Each structure stands twice: as structure tokens, then as C-alpha cells.
Amino acid sequence: MTGDLFTGLARDPSMETLTEGALLLRAFVDEDEAIRLMAAIDTVLEASPLRHMQTPGGFRMSVAMSNCGRYGWVTDRRGYRYQSRDPLVERDWPAMPSLFAALAGRAAAAAGFAGFDPDACLINRYEPAARMSLHQDKNELDMTQPIVSVSLGLPATFLFGGMARTDKPQRMRLESGDVVVWGGPARLAFHGIDPLREGEHALTGRCRYNLTFRRAR
């Protein structure tokens, strides 16, 4: 296996500061780990399949989602929330793979947030044209815990803004294996993803997967 799973060449890990409390860890996930992560994702999705959730306003989300861990993030006409059971299959969300939890803890520690122990992992699949509008992650009870976001597959343009939706966001290209961590003064920063462009990736095909780790309770 070569660097073809990423950008055609192996990349050296590096760290970029986005703002106080927010860091971009370039090439934090290597190819071997990425392959193991995708295998674990497939296992989770066999138990709790991807689905396009509905916003409280009645709009169908373009990103397909599922969860693993003690809690899962869901949205429907009743609002945004975490719950312990998957409403699609009417059973508990799949347990979070140990590989997931270890990666999240390692990335958080590298960004200065030691001791992060996530109890929820949101799995997002972006197909071409899918996007995520600017939003805050604010359904969690403990805002002292960071958010850890892992990119796998096709590259995407990540938007990282300020504390107000109207703040102009930074725009950066995320490659497979990149991880963004934000917490502390940046914990409620607005963020999103531009519409995914067409492409083909050796790891994921015509899509991008994103793992977002949180401490929900």
C-alpha cells in the first residue's frame, strides 16, 4: 500500500493553529490506520445504517449520518438532541470501536486537551454536492470537552468561523487523514463544509467520511 490513499504521496504530519483552542493536525491518521477505521465504520453501519435526517424545519440533510457510542446525535421535527437508542432500528447505538476512542483521545491530547473520553461519535458520509452549513456544536452538556473531527476519503473545504454566524470563516482544504480539534475559547466556533466536489478516492470511492467525536453527557 502506498500514499495513493491520500494525495498520491506520503505526507508528513504537521500542526496548524486556526485560532486559540483550535488546531489542524495534518496527516495525523496514516494509511494503515485509515484502512482499519473504514473497516470499523462498515461494521458500525451494518448495525445502524446511514440515513438522511430531517431538520426541525423539515429539510432533508444532504449528508448521510449514523452514530456509535453511548449516545447518538439525531435531528427531526422535535429538534436536535442526543439519545441512547437509534430511532431507525429501535435499539442502542453500536458500541464505539476501541480504535475510534483511542484516535480521539490521542488527537485531543496532541492539541492540548488531555483526558478526552468521548461517549458519542457522529459518522457523516458526504457524496458529491453534499454540504454542511455553518453551525455550532452546542447540544453537549460539558463545554469544557473538545470536538475532534477526522477526515477520510475525498478532500473537502472546511469552514471555520468565529462565535457569530456572520463572522467570515477561514477556508482550508482537508485531506484524508487530517484531524481538526477545537475546544476552550473556540469550543462554540461556527464551522461547516462546502459542497463536496466530484472525485474518486482509493479509500472511500466517490465520497468522504467524517468522524466527529464528542462528550455528550
Average pLDDT rounded to a whole number, residues 131-138: 97
Indicate the number of domains in the chain.
1
The share of the chain scoring above pLDDT 70, in percent, equals: 95
Q: Are the C-beta atoms of 185 and 20 separated by less than 8 Å?
A: yes
Residue 122, helix vs strand vs coil: strand
pLDDT tens for 116-132 read 999 999 999 999 999 99
In-domain check, residue 122: yes
Give the pLDDT confidence score for residue 13 in this predicted structure. Answer: 86
C-alpha cell recorded at residue 144: 469544557
**Closest Cα partner for 212 from 152, 168, 143?**
152
In-domain check, residue 91: yes
Residue with cell 448521510: 64
Q: Domain holding 49: CATH number?
A: 2.60.120.590
- The DSSP line for 136-155 is -----S-TTS-EEEEEEES-
In-domain check, residue 188: yes
Average pLDDT, the chain: 95
Give the pLDDT confidence score for residue 10 in this predicted structure. Answer: 66
**Closest Cα partner for 173 from 190, 189, 201, 196?**
196
In-domain check, residue 161: yes
Give the pLDDT confidence score for residue 2 in this predicted structure. Answer: 34
In-domain check, residue 6: no
Give the pLDDT confidence score for residue 5 in this predicted structure. Answer: 55
In-domain check, residue 1: no
Give the pLDDT confidence score for residue 12 in this predicted structure. Answer: 82
pLDDT tens for 17-68 read 999 999 999 999 999 999 999 999 999 999 999 999 999 999 999 999 999 9
What residues does 83 pair with on adjacent strands? 72
Q: Are the C-beta atoms of 216 and 141 separated by less than 8 Å?
A: yes
Q: What is the pTM of this model?
A: 0.94
pLDDT tens for 144-195 read 999 999 999 999 999 999 999 999 999 999 999 999 999 999 999 999 999 9
Q: Which residue has the higher pLDDT, 5 or 157?
A: 157
pLDDT tens for 194-217 read 999 999 999 999 999 999 999 999
**Closest Cα partner for 70 from 48, 100, 93, 37?**
93
Domain range enclosing 118: 14-214
The alpha carbons of the chain give a radius of gyration, in whole angstroms, of 16
In-domain check, residue 5: no
Give the pLDDT confidence score for residue 164 in this predicted structure. Answer: 97
3-state helix, strand, coil in the chain (%, to 5): 15, 35, 45
In-domain check, residue 144: yes
